[in-house]
Every structure is written in C-alpha cells, then in structure tokens.
Amino acid sequence: MATRILAINPGSTSTKIALFDDDQEIFGKNLSHSKEELGQFKEIQDQKDFRREMVEKAMAENGYSFEDVDVFVGRGGGLMALIGGTYTVSDLLVEHASKGMTGQHPAQLASQICKDFADKYSKPAFVVNPPDVDELDEISRVTGLKGIYRESHIHSLNQKEIALRYCAKAGKKYEESNLIVCHLGGGISITAHSQGRMIDSNDIIKGSGPMSPTRAGDIPYAKVIELAYSGEYTKKELTNRINKNGGLLDHFGTDDGREIQKMIDAGDKYAKIIYDGMLYQISKYVGAMAVAMKGKVDAIILTGGLSYSDYLVSFVTEYVKWIADIVVMPGEFEMEALAAGALRVVTGVEEAKTYTGVPVWSGFEGER
C-alpha cells in the first residue's frame, strides 16, 4: 500500500497543500488569502486556526479524508539554526515555531498545523529542510565588523531537493558530490553544496548576492547609509525597497522576467543592460561558489522559474561553462520536496532528526 502524505506550505498570501501517494501527487491546491482576510489578524501567529480550517475545507470539498492520511509534513520555520534533514514535529519544535525564534514568517505555521492534525488523527508529523537550515563553513561567516556575521538564509527546501534529484539521476551520492545550485526566482540563492552540506551561499533575507526580480542584492553600503539618513524613508520603507520591492521591480515596476524579455526583444536598451546586469551578477556568484569548493565542481544546476528562459540560460552558460557542466532543472519542487523528505523517513532511507532548540553555531571559538 502507498503511503498517503499531506504536505502543507503556508506563504505570505496563500497556503499550498498537496496530497501524495508515495511520491505521486494525487491532489493539489493553492488556497489564496485576500488582504482583507489576513488583515483581521494582528500577528502571523494569529492566522494558524484560520489557515488550518481552510485546509480542512479544501480536503472536504474535494472528497479527501484526513483519516486516510498516513503522514503530515510541513515546510517549517521560526526555528533555531539547524542542519538539513527531516525533523519530527515535537512539542519543543512547535513551541519555538509559535514564537518565531528567528523572525516572523507564515512558514512557521506549517509545523503547528501539522501537529494539530497529527494529534487529532494519531499520525506522525514532520518538517523538511526548513528555512532555518544552516550548514555554512565557519570561514564563510566572517565579516569586517566584529559581532556581525554572515548567516544562512537560503531556499533550502528547493535547493536540497534539486541537488538530491540531480544526484539520483546522475547515479551519484549527494554526500559525495560538489554542486553549485542556483535557485532563480523572485529571490535568488547561489549555493555551494559540498559533500552533502550547503557550505556557502548569499543571504536572501539579510541581503547579499545578485540582484533579483524583487531584491536589490549587493549594493554599496555607503549609499544605503545615505538613504537611511535622507529623511525619505522609515526603517520599514527602506527595508521593503531593498528586500521586497528592489531589483527588477524597482527598475521597471514589474518583477516578471518575461515582461522584461519582451522589452529587450522590442529593442529597449535600458531593459537589456539592467537584465544582463542581473545575469552577470548571478554568474559572478557561481564563480564565488566554485572558489568555496576550490574549483572541484561536478555540476552547476539552474533551477527556479527564471531558468525557463533560454536567454538567461545562454547568458549564464557563456560566463560559467568553464567551471563545470550546466544542468537546467526549471521550476520549483517545494511540495514534492516535502513529500519526498517524509517518504525517506517512512521507508527507512533516512532517519528523522530530533529538534534540540540549540543553534548549530553561536560564535567563533576564542572570540574576543
């Protein structure tokens, strides 16, 4: 008998759900939430019951019973820094998620909703490679200011799934491979996967790396300081301009790469230089991640929505093909990744990890 898995992935304006029999999706739905619906809640944590009831309603309307679900799995979030893997949803994990230990994000609701269902129906619940995964090498954390360190904020769920899928197809072991995975979507993370760990990457939350459709990426810090003291922005407004409304959106009023491509095709020189600049920055970070693995790279993988673009693939390939073979795996596989992580545990391929609440890194030894 197949294992029936319900995957739950809350986002800023929707909650994605998908039902799997083993690794085959049999039902999926994107439950949209209007600004008015979410506006009635003061904090993200207050949305939990509302989103859970939406999941229950969608399952009932489509003729699926919770009694038939064997495993509940969610994206996770709001946890202390941990290594990658599939974690059992424990009371401690739920407690930390409800507090949002590393900041508030709808993803923190996933484990809590899964725990509610798991307790009600006496089934196991897991989270898989949550946003809190931190496997950085110590040397990659260093900055030029004491007490300020580089942190791990990566598209860890999709990054790990893409790496595992590539290795399975190529007949390699993830734990023995060196890969550069480029998640190219609204946010962009370029990550060095070395021997089963994400040892270096840009920071998609605190700000570093290439510009993206919605994020500014690396910009001269003196200019940011000037903007901060210009009197034109509140802290929240400036943060949003850099990290939510930056990049292509700031330049063109759209974060849709297809629209920018149309501008380029129509002969818009400004659109071309800005878009090419983003692709150039992506290429530079691929080179940086190759350095992090001392040039020993088995493959460079392009994934995410932007990698559907032949223009992008061709541009980046010209810059980085000397490093390693380019593999294109377009789209994102978050729901599949959740189901796959749970299935690996259920079938004994992988052992579920226990969340300790102790961060995997808390400072340098001998720090002054």
Residues 128 and 173 in one domain: no
Q: Are residue 236 and residue 309 in the same domain, yes or no? A: yes
Closest by CA position to 53, among listed 42, 43, 70, 66? 66
Could you tell me the pLDDT band of residue 114, with boundaries at 50, 70 and 90?
Answer: very high
The structure's pTM equals 0.94
Radius of gyration of the chain (CA): 21
pLDDT of 179 above 90: yes
207 and 322 part of one domain: yes
* Same domain flag for 340 and 312: no
Asked if residue 193 and residue 234 are part of one domain, the reply reads yes
Of the candidates 289, 278, 260, which has an alpha carbon nearest to the alpha carbon of residue 315? 278
Inform me whether the pLDDT recorded for 368 exceeds 80. Answer: no
Asked if residue 251 belongs to a domain, the reply is: yes
State how far the Cα of 113 lies from the Cα of 72, in Å rounded to an integer.
9
In this structure, is residue 363 part of a structural domain? no
The predicted model gives 57-72 an average pLDDT of 97
Q: How far apart are CA 129 and CA 193, in angstroms?
A: 14
CATH number for position 28: 3.30.420.40
pLDDT score, position 39: 92
| 174 against 13, higher pLDDT | 174
**Model confidence at 102, in pLDDT bands (50, 70, 90)?**
confident
Residue 189 and residue 151: Cα distance in Å, rounded?
13
The whole-chain average pLDDT of the chain stands at 96
Return the number of other C-beta atoms located less than 10 Å from residue 298's C-beta. Answer: 19
Is 353 part of any domain? no
d(CA 70, CA 352): 16
Could you tell me the pLDDT band of residue 270, with boundaries at 50, 70 and 90? very high
Bridge partners (DSSP) listed for residue 221: none
54, 107: one domain: yes
Give the whole-angstrom CA distance, residue 44 versus residue 110: 12
Mean per-residue pLDDT for 343-348?
97
Q: Which of 327, 261, 272 has the alpha carbon at shortest distance from 298? A: 327
State whether 111 and 258 are in the same domain: no
Query: How far is C-alpha 119 from the chain's CA centre?
Result: 28
Shared domain check, 216 and 263: yes
* Residue whose entry in the numeric block shows the structure tokens 């800005």: 274
Is residue 361 in a domain?
Answer: no
Average pLDDT on 341-367 reads 95
Structure tokens at 150: 């580089």
Q: Name residue, tokens 């998640």.
A: 183
Give the residue-averaged pLDDT of 251-261.
96
The answer to whether position 177 is within a domain reads: yes
**Cα torsion 69, 71, 75, 80: sign:** positive
Say how many domains are in the chain.
2
Full DSSP string of 327-362: EEEEB--HHHHHHHHHHHHHTTSSPPB---S--S--
Is-contact 12 6, C-beta < 8 A?
no
Predicted pLDDT of residue 60: 97
360 located within any domain? no
pLDDT confidence of residue 366: 87
339 and 302 belong to one structural domain: no
Domain extent, residue 85, equals 4-133+335-346
What 3-state DSSP class applies to 318? Answer: helix
Residue 356 is predicted with a pLDDT of: 98
In a domain, 358, yes or no: no
- 197 plus 78 within the same structural domain: no
- For residue 35, give the 3-state DSSP assignment: helix
Does 184 lie in the same domain as 119? no
Any domain includes 38: yes
How many residues in total does the chain contain? Answer: 368
Confirm if 153 and 205 have CB atoms less than 8 A apart: yes
- Maximal CA-CA distance, the chain: 64
Above pLDDT 70, what percent of the chain? 100
Q: Do residue 342 and residue 310 come from a single domain?
A: no
